[in-house]
């Protein structure tokens, strides 16, 4: 909804450039608008913030805060002996709730902590293969009107090509999957010279099953790789996951 509000202003020409956190954007482009620049990706990993504990594995009957269904289900895969409860508020608010003992810990995007210089609170940092983040995590996307050639020229100059390659692969995967904002899915592209490795994870609609795919492809065809990974994970999930669109 927040992205839509900004996009509406762009369409109405109240603004000329919109800046978004890519992970909040719909995988289907809004008609008349285009993402013209992807800024160099910040850290895409997930982190565990706690006052009492050093790592997730030592938790037993502890209360972890998360407002993401994906994170909740992933947490249960890593440690079944935890309770996951809904948490709201910005990063500062969530950390404060941990510091005051309202929660034993919380999972936060490391990029957000780094942007606010709060990474000291991260007790454990997970690899993108062990705790697959949401698609686009750590990427800032800059959007403009499709017919605004001046803005497009300017934005192209600040585009980070390697980040764009990863973003296109991840967004293509999401688009192929046909999920919605409630779909528990993770996706992370790792670029290595001319190759991309796409790690993806999808939970069934009831949250009881999990499906994983690791797909390798060429960096000059990121959207094809995302599409193939999406088709493969849909095939694996069969009747456990229904496309929402």
Give me the active site residues, please: 24
How would you classify the pairing of strands 105-109 and 82-85?
unpaired
Contact between residue 33 and residue 10 where contact means Cβ atoms under 8 Å apart: yes
Contact between residue 220 and residue 243 where contact means Cβ atoms under 8 Å apart: no
How many C-beta atoms lie closer than 10 Å to residue 219's C-beta?
19
Closest C-alpha among 204, 199, 64, 44 to residue 111: 44
- Edge-to-edge strands, sheet with 140-145: 18-21, 140-145, 33-38
Contact between residue 172 and residue 46 where contact means Cβ atoms under 8 Å apart: no
Closest C-alpha among 219, 17, 49, 212 to residue 121: 49
Task: Determine the Cα–Cα distance for residues 147 and 36; give it in Å rounded to an integer.
Answer: 12
Q: What is the helix (H) or strand (E) element at residue 97, kind and residue range?
A: helix 91-99
SS (H, E, C) 223-239: HHHHHHHHHHHHHHHHH
């Amino acid at each position: 909804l927040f992205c839509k509000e900004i996009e509406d202003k762009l369409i109405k020409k109240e603004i000329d450039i919109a800046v978004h956190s890519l992970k909040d954007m719909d995988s289907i482009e809004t008609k008349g608008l285009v993402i013209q620049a992807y800024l160099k990706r910040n850290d895409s990993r997930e982190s565990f913030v706690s006052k009492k504990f050093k790592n997730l594995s030592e938790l037993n009957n502890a209360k972890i805060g998360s407002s993401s269904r994906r994170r909740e289900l992933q947490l249960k895969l890593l440690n079944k002996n935890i309770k996951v409860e809904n948490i709201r508020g910005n990063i500062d608010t969530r950390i404060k709730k941990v510091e005051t003992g309202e929660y034993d810990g919380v999972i936060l995007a490391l990029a957000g902590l780094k942007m606010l210089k709060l990474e000291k609170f991260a007790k454990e940092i997970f690899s993108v293969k062990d705790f697959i983040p949401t698609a686009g995590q750590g990427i800032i996307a800059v959007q403009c009107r499709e017919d605004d050639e001046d803005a497009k020229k300017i934005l192209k100059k600040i585009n980070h090509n390697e980040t764009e390659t990863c973003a296109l692969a991840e967004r293509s995967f999401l688009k192929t999957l046909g999920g919605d904002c409630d779909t528990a899915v993770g996706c992370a592209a790792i670029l290595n010279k001319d190759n991309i490795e796409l790690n993806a994870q999808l939970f069934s609609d009831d949250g009881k099953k999990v499906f994983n795919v690791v797909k390798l492809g060429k960096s000059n065809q990121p959207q094809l790789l995302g599409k193939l990974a999406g088709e493969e994970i849909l095939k694996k999930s069969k009747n456990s996951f229904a496309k929402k669109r």
